[in-house]
């Protein structure tokens, strides 16, 4: 049986990520299993679009044809894709040479609707001693609480994800209004809402996490500050309120319950134990876990009470952009957010 063809979508928006975006594109072109097409979508930034068009010959460089933000950019890329599988890579990440090969190999049967991989942090400086690995989703990376081998998950991380193209025809695209836009708050969870929608609308659909499909996500120095950590956690709570409003609290918070009641208490205990053994950062990590959970909870409560969930109306699937070929995204409208790119069982996103 021949291997599935893959279209890789990279969404770009910021001029200061120029070198990162070129590195991301280069890593796609160096894959052991070549992508059928590389699609770079620029989010309402005409000068950047023109620069990338000139710098990436052979790539399909597009302007976001939908609402400004990550969901609109992804939907524009989906509508242009022609491969069996559509994969997504963050514009400030680089993929391991076997990334696509590992993603494709996990599509073991027709029930596998999507596959995500492991995202490692690439620190510009070094990991702060106080930063708990249970909260690596804050920086868009795989965190403690996620599977350590190939396993079914509720949702995958959006910056290292792939889906069968036909899935978008069945359930629509990413919702606009949940995830990242150019606002000041780092909202997210659009991939969480999308993955939950797959489970609700496609009987027997399976999403897999495969630890061998590896990318490295850049972590800038300004994301090592506790202020960023706290802001990201609060935005995660707001995003979770949006997701719960869109797909229901039972599905929208199923993974978070396990994460909050099992993974985080174990992390606090480990931090305290490490502190007793002489690791000065252990106490700080335990405290950061408690502070992070409290801040996420505060954001969720604020989002729920204030009616941030589109005035209490459930958001539906997003529309796809102009079609370049048959089989792009089906119509619809709406969306929801989270923390970091995507989420899996046990992750707060």
**Residue pLDDT, tens place only, 305-344:** 876 444 333 333 344 443 433 333 333 323 323 333 334 3
Question: pLDDT, tens digit, for every residue of 24-49?
Answer: 999 999 999 999 999 999 999 999 99
Calpha distance 218→91 (Å, rounded): 9
Query: How much is the mean pLDDT over the chain?
Result: 85
The predicted structure's pLDDT at residue 304: 86
Which value, to the nearest 10 degrees, does the dihedral of the CA atoms of residues 272, 277, 279, 282 take? -10
Q: With bands split at pLDDT 50, 70 and 90, how would you rate the model's confidence at 177?
A: low
What region, left, alpha or beta, does residue 216 occupy, with left being phi > 0 and alpha being psi -120 to 50 degrees? beta
Calpha distance 262→265 (Å, rounded): 6
Give helix 226-247 / helix 280-305 axis angle, nearest 10°: 40
| pLDDT at residue 81 tops 80 | yes
The predicted structure's pLDDT at residue 2: 65
Q: What share of the chain has pLDDT > 70, as a percent?
A: 83
The predicted structure's pLDDT at residue 329: 32
Question: pLDDT, tens digit, for every residue of 204-240?
Answer: 999 999 999 999 999 999 999 999 999 999 988 888 8
pTM summary value: 0.85
> Do residues 174 and 181 make contact, with C-beta atoms less than 8 angstroms apart?
no
């Amino acid at each position: 049986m021949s291997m599935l063809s893959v279209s890789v979508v990279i969404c770009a928006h910021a001029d200061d990520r120029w070198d990162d975006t070129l590195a991301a594109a280069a890593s796609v072109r160096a894959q052991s299993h070549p992508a059928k097409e590389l699609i770079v979508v620029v989010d309402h930034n005409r000068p950047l679009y023109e620069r990338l068009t000139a710098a990436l010959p052979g790539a399909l460089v597009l302007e976001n044809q939908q609402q400004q933000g990550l969901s609109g950019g992804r939907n524009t890329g989906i509508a242009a894709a022609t491969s069996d599988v559509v994969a997504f890579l963050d514009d400030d990440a680089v993929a391991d040479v076997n990334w696509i090969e590992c993603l494709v190999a996990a599509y073991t049967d027709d029930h596998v609707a999507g596959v995500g991989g492991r995202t490692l942090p690439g620190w510009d400086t070094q990991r702060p001693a106080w930063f708990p690995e249970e909260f690596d989703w804050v920086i868009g990376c795989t965190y403690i609480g996620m599977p350590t081998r190939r396993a079914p998950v509720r949702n995958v991380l959006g910056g290292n994800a792939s889906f069968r193209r036909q899935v978008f025809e069945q359930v629509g695209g990413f919702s606009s209004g949940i995830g990242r836009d150019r606002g000041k708050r780092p909202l997210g969870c659009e991939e969480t809402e999308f993955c939950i929608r797959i489970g609700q609308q496609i009987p027997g659909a399976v999403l897999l996490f495969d630890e061998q499909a590896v990318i490295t996500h850049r972590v800038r120095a300004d994301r090592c500050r506790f202020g960023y950590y706290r802001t990201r956690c609060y935005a995660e709570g707001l995003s979770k309120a949006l997701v719960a409003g869109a797909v229901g609290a039972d599905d929208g918070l199923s993974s978070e319950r396990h994460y909050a009641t099992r993974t985080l208490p174990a992390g606090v205990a480990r931090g305290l134990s490490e502190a007793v053994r002489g690791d000065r950062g252990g106490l700080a990590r335990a405290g950061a876990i408690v502070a992070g959970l409290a801040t996420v909870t505060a954001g969720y409560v604020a989002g729920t009470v204030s009616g941030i969930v589109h005035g209490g109306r459930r958001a539906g699937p997003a529309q796809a952009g102009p079609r370049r070929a048959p089989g792009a995204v089906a119509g619809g409208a709406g969306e929801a957010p989270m923390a970091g790119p995507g989420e899996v069982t046990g992750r707060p996103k």
